[in-house]
A = this chain, B = another copy of it.
């Protein structure tokens, strides 16, 4: 009997968020090599910003910070070898792909789906919220796009996304991406490695405890 418990990392993100893009593109390989399981937590960042009195992204509201962010994204994408094209619309609406990601969060296709939505936004510079955009991505993954989109648009799933977003607020999430490992919060793609390291460490200590009880 395998008592070894793998480390876990919660990954809270929005497809409209540029720094979430970096983490979506990096997390699969990082988690795989650290033997950490990712719990995908799509949520709507907009209502969080609205709760601070902001009508849109701080990168739009603060022009100096926004100007810097585009420079930073270019450099970060080069550093990590991630495709990049500055989107002509920012932040893009992301409600439909978020609903699909929430619906499919436990499915084997979740990582690839999220990567493709992000690439559509930040590399192909295309809309991600139209049904045709999402269907195209699901089709390319050999999935039943019509059935998945219908399920994602069900009242039940819509409600779950609203609840998820309220949960984000209750957890003190103020931006994206945000990671949780054993209840500890890490904000920003710059903390993904630290979060993964903690999750991997958690695996080790769980293993040791499990071994003691053998």
CA distance A172 to B37 in the complex (A): 40
Number of copies: 2
Query: What residue in chain B is nearest A76 (Cβ atoms)?
Result: B194
What residues on B are CB-neighbors of A185 within 8 Å? Answer: 68, 71
Q: Are A174 and B65 also in contact (CB < 8 A) when A71-B185, A185-B71, A190-B190 are?
A: yes
Query: What residue in chain B is nearest A66 (Cβ atoms)?
Result: B174
**A residues with CB within 8 A of B:** 52, 62, 64-65, 67-68, 71-72, 75, 79, 172-175, 184-188, 190-191, 194
21 A-B Cβ contacts within 8 A?
A: A52-B62, A62-B174, A64-B172, A64-B173, A64-B174, A65-B174, A65-B175, A67-B172, A68-B172, A68-B174, A68-B185, A68-B187, A71-B184, A71-B185, A72-B186, A72-B187, A72-B191, A75-B194, A79-B194, A188-B190, A190-B190
